[in-house]
Structure 1
Amino acid sequence: MFDSNGAAAAKCNLEALLFCVFDKDAGPIVQCADPPLGADGYSFQKVGHYLLPDSTIKGRVVSIVYGDRVMMGTPVYIEDAFYHRNSFQFNICMVIDSSKHHEPYRDIAQLLAMSFQSLETDTRLLSNPRDRISIRDVLAQLRQQINDAEECFVRIDMSHAIAFKVRRWVPALTKIEDDTLVPVPLMDLNQLLASAPRSAAKLPALPFSLDPAVEEVVRLIDGVSSVQRIAQSCPLRSDYVVMILRHLLHFNLIRLIPEIHMECKYRLTPAYHMVLEDSAMGQQAVHYVTAGKRKVDSLNEEEQEAEVQKVMALYALLACEGQVVEHFQTDYQEEITELQISLKHFLTWGLLQGYLEKVEEHVGSLNKAQAEELFRLRTILIPERKKLLSDQGQPAKDVNKDQQVVEMVARLKELQEMEQKSGSA
């Protein structure tokens, strides 16, 4: 078994399993444990109220650092008129070494909670004082089997058993090498954290439960602040902040782009020349770069294409002659205003979609005439020639062999190579 870095992962080592319950007279207590609590162990009783917090925490993993150990479990709250005060509260809590990687144990905490909740609902095993000894026996068998084989099968009676396998799932997180990069949210992260059902908000189901600490980081992600600035502004430790950002990056909730400054220069990438083939992506581009002020889906096909071409032409003009953003804004203020473009959104979209790359050296991609020729070849001349030949009934393989098409494609590739070389000089 290996972790995300390829290193052998240590086996599970549950030092103890505790049955914590809310007693009607004593409050939160550790009712029984394996191994049985000795004189030293009874100090665990002091943290009982942390293991059974407010009912709003039910179903979430709770962990408490206690010296060199961590106590971890998932509180369970069962509401039923059968119980005193109409509810039964318990937590099957693990005691583990605080220096161990905790992710596999979080899964065990959830599995134990689900297994014992089902068991209590069906048999009342946990709430019946006469079965207290058998609970300790069950805990002992579970701890031994999980430690020995990282799986368990403990029969309770002829109809019930607790069985599961520990799955070590540690995502291969992308390292954030440059803390000057800016996290950009790919969806409304605050809405993602809201208590409202995600289905009602048309948000994706998450493959993980959100740690409350995520909210501290999410509120600082504004598409402008760098990783470094977020880490400095957040009350959490900087390494925790970076770890949260790496998880958000892994689950495609954010993307990292270079910081945007008025003195920056950009060049086009090959991805730019493919966007006009996707009408849906072109509509998204117009909507994003105008900060939602312009929508082209209500226009006819010809008007949509014209609108998208105007926006994409500005990217070509930004890249030609290697001018800085400040000069671009001055030279094309009229076009930017007419199209209702937000410069911040314009640059962010180009970087997110890979149309633009930041140029570190003071070099240009193509001069203005070459940039315009490249744009016309890619978006007008070649597509129109191919459409004309197709309308005449020529098959696709013959269309691509047409002399004019071959010459224009060769010139297109030549200009693209020039752009690539100059941009990487």
Structure 2
Amino acid sequence: MATSAECADERGQEGPIRCIFFSEFHHIAGPKITCQVPDNFVSKDIFDNVSVYIIPKAQLQRSTITVTLKEFKILGFPVRIDNKKYARNAFYFNLCFVCDAEARTVHYEPVVKKMSEFLIALEIENCFLSASGDKTRLAQMLQHVMLDLNMHKMCTLTEGTMTSHLKVVRQAPEPKPILDHQVPIFLEGREAFQSDQWDLTTQQVLPYIDGFNHVARIAAEADVENNLVKSCVQNLVYYGVVTLIPIFQYSNVYATTPKLKKLAEDVELQDKCVAYASKSLRQPAYLRDIYRMYASMTHGSSMRDLCQRLNPQNLRINERRLVQFGLIEGLIRRIYKYPIHIPSNSTEEGRTNPIYKYFTGAFNLDEICCCIGQSVAQIEEIVERDPNVVMLWK
């Protein structure tokens, strides 16, 4: 069993709420569950084993607490209301959501807290929780919340003159740091994006996001400091507005992934692909030609070789958008080149050219190009001249 305010397993999948229960501290009987839906989902034996975390010490009051058991996970927000009208001068309670043990629950934390605050207000206003042993109305409320949150991810609670709106907001993991050579691309059409909802720096950067400009180029063309551009792009990635793909060049090599099979089976994906990769919607490309181009992408065959062999222009295919769509949907992946300098009787150039510090196998050609401002062809020429430098493809 693990307990922590941040114990939720970030690697788990989001799952439904299995149970909601209300527990309180009885001045004679101690901690107990006084209402739960469905009934008896959490047994008395299990509750007794974890009750010290459900109704905890004062230091943990009003903190999100997660208790992970073998079968399920309990998420709560323990509360104490101080008032001399209560036995022991305080009323202790905890509203808890119960999910599967492996489920991700971090997105429920704000909901549990907000609903607890609603119950606090009801208790202070009219002793809604403590006045009677009859918890029928509370049970109806818990049932309503569980059904609506599971089905619609939102719920409205009304009791007397008080109303509270609950909503489950998916919390995406923090995006990885943005690199100079990465290319942001809109996941939906640019026309669906409302730029006036974003800050001024993001609005300045947006016109240069076209699926081909890498971050360093966007910074230069937008005349915005590089780290600010990275922050803007990272924010857009977090909210699912853009994703990141590699720089497109005809010297690039791509390879198919197992997801290409989905293109042969999913009609909706096929329609999206044809619309995205065709030169003109009036005369769309044939799916068989698009599929053949994807299937021809393999190690050792550059995009230039592929275009010379299959002539996508005659097939009404926009090869640049074809690659974009394949990368976004995971149908293909980029094969990167990593130069590695093997110490030997180093050439004079190896001792003097600062580019050699990048020939460690940790930097691909895209990264090196952005760092030193040279083209892929220039770097490959250096590699070709020096027998002590080898190229790793992966």
Same fold by TM (over 0.5)? no
Alignment TM-score, normalising by the size of structure 2: 0.41
Structure holding more strand per residue: 2
Structure holding more helix per residue: 1
Alignment TM-score, normalising by the size of structure 1: 0.39
